[in-house]
Amino acid sequence: MTSPVIPTIRPARPEDVPAVVAMVHELAEYERAPDQCHLTAEQLTSALFGTAPALYGHVAVDERDEPIGFALWFLNFSTWAGVHGIYLEDLYVRPAARGTGAGRLLLATLADICVRRGYQRLEWWMIDWNPAAGFYASIGAEPMSEWVPYRLSGDALRDLAGTALPAGTRPVD
């Protein structure tokens, strides 16, 4: 009996984009919202590898260097702590690769980036029914139940934007 191969974690490369986009769509399917996922390879390529990328990515790869999981993340900033942190937008490991340690290794890589750069937080949201809650608790992650996420999008976003004043102007009394 052979033991499973431990995945390798590395920064995402342009050639990984199609696999990551496919996994993002798999994640949307898993989260029961496939119709809400519109990510394209062109969008992800631009976000990760454009002139001023604000999105970063790591992939877990198998022994053939094929992506089996990913973490997409960006920097946030704590005004109270006065330092950046990492916000993990999405973490996903393909079902066939679960149990190989890929998810833990992806999180450990991001934790290492935080520690090396002096960031104090690694944060993410999780859908409330995700069975990964037990895994997250096992590594010491704590749910932040006192904070309520808000989202402004679609018509409400456009309506509010329509009330903005041009830069440098003041409201009329």
Give me the pLDDT at residue 81, please. 94
Give me the pLDDT at residue 167, please. 81
104-129 per-position pLDDT tens digit: 999 999 999 999 999 999 999 999 99
Give me the pLDDT at residue 1, please. 52
Inform me whether the pLDDT recorded for 161 exceeds 80. yes
Give me the pLDDT at residue 165, please. 85
pTM for the complete prediction?
0.89
The answer to whether residue 56 is catalytic is: no
The residue behind tokens 């004043």 is 165
From the candidates 30, 119, 136, 150, give the one annotated as an active-site residue: 136
Mean pLDDT of 80-98: 96
Give me the pLDDT at residue 169, please. 79
Give me the pLDDT at residue 24, please. 98
